[in-house]
Structure formats: structure tokens, C-alpha cells
Amino acid sequence: MPDNPQQDNAQKDRPQKEQPRRQARGERRIAQLLEAAASVFSTTGYTAASTNAIAREAGVSPGTLYQFFPNKEAIAIELRDRLMHEMREAYGEALAPVDPATPLEEAVGAAVDRFIAFNCDHPVFYTLMHGPDIPGRITEAHDVLHATLISRIEGLLHSLLPDARPAEVTRTAHVCFGMYKAGLELVLAHEGAERDAYVEEVKKVLIRYLEPLVGDRLGTAHATAAKSTP
């Protein structure tokens, strides 16, 4: 068991996890702790972040932290769940509506802009979602989420190129997601105007990768050999 067998003496036989009646103070503490956790996670990564450091950052004792979270993992899960909720709420179904007549540039640009904006506002999101540092159970929930994201992209792709073998669509979706992920990392590594420039590069990568696939369907006149002289 080369995993992370440090300890796992958490609660186990609790089919219903009935939490104690929270007071307003408790809710405030939870928010405080999650904010501190976001800070610590995004600067040191998940495994290197110690619960004592999170408690210290929040200005409380380790015992207080464990009043509200059964273990370290639960902190990350709750944080991720809240971020996911906030994202859905802010951007709705970001790439769900696959308007079949939208030009490729617009569809890709909008999706990339939204996701990147959210990640820039909440740096910890990248750490939790795409960080390779996450052990055990968290990953399982992430895998589900990752799969739904991929299938969203697949759906979008399917509406763009109805005549393609499913395996290829899946592969293309994985490539798009991987490239987006890499682009996001590049974007987060820069700031200001340079950051904006990288955002445009990411869009270019995706658009140019997908352009030949959608071909010149409909009247969308994107041209790989087009010039600025009409």
C-alpha cells in the first residue's frame, strides 16, 4: 500500500452523517477555514498543506478545525464543491448549449474565456481540479466530474462534426481538454497583458486544431490560407 496510509481512523460506521446544529459563529468559522485552506492549498499544494497550517492561517486551533471537518480530505472536498457551485452559478452551463450555428471561433472563445476567468479569480480551483497531488477518494469524485466535462466537449464536438467515429470524437475531446489545461497553466503563470496574450494563444491553438475538422460547413468562412485582402 504505497498510497497514503498515514492514518485513517476517521469515522466509519456513520450511514447518516447528521451534523450538529450549526450556529452562525460556526458557519463563519467554516468560511474562514475554507478561505485559509484555499490560500494554503494554492500555495503549497494539497499534500504538502498541513491541517495545522490551515488552522494557523485561519487563526484558530487545530482542534477547532476538526470541529467542522472530519479530516483533511473533507476540507478539500467541501472547498471544491463550493467552487463548483459558484462556477455553475456564475457561468451557468458554460459549454452545455451547443448552438449548432455558432461559429467555431465564438464557441471556443466564449468557453475558454469563461473557464479561464473563473480560474484566475480562484487560483485554488486549478490546484484542486488539475493538481496531480491529490490522493485517494478526492480523485474519484474528480474523475466523475472530469468524465462529464469530457462528454460535454464530446457533445459539443458531435454537433460540430456529426459524421465522425465516436472513438475519434472522444480522442479529440481529450486532446481539447488537455490543451486547455496546459493553456490554463500557462495563463496562470503570467499576469497582466502577457496573460491576456496567452489567452488568445490558447484560443488559437484550439480553433486551429478544430478548424480542419469542421471544414467549411455552412457559411462560416474561416480560412487557413485567408489573407487580409478580400
**Rounded to the nearest 5 degrees, what angle is found at the Cα of 43, between the Cα atoms of 41 and 45?**
45
Q: List the one residue out of 154, 159, 169, 177 whose CA is nearest residue 217.
A: 159
Q: Does 225 bind its own copies (CB under 8 A)?
A: yes
Residue 36 CB, nearest approach to DNA (Å): 12
Please state the closest distance from residue 19 (CB atom) to DNA, in A: 8
User: Is residue 9 near DNA by the rule CB under 7 A?
Assistant: yes
Footprint of DNA on 41-100 (CB under 7 A): 47, 49-53, 59-64, 66-68, 70-73
Should residue 208 be labelled a site residue for its own copies when binding is judged by CB under 8 A? Answer: yes
User: Where in 41-70 is the site for its own copies (CB under 8 A)?
Assistant: 43-45, 47-48, 53
- Say if residues 185 and 126 touch (Cβ distance below 8 Å): yes
Cα separation, 15 vs 193, in Å, equals: 51
Binding at 151: pick from its own copies, DNA, none (beta carbon under 5-8 Å per type): none
Length of the chain: 230
Query: What cell numbers appear for 97 in the block?
Result: 448549449
Closest by CA position to 91, among listed 34, 152, 40: 152
Binder among 179, 188, 214, 220 for its own copies (CB under 8 A): 179
**Contact residue for its own copies among 54, 111, 198, 199 (CB under 8 A):** 198
133 touches its own copies (CB under 8 A): yes
**Cα three-residue angle 70-74-77, rounded to 5 degrees:** 165
Which parts of this chain interact with DNA (CB under 7 A)?
A: 5-10, 20-27, 29, 47, 49-53, 59-64, 66-68, 70-73
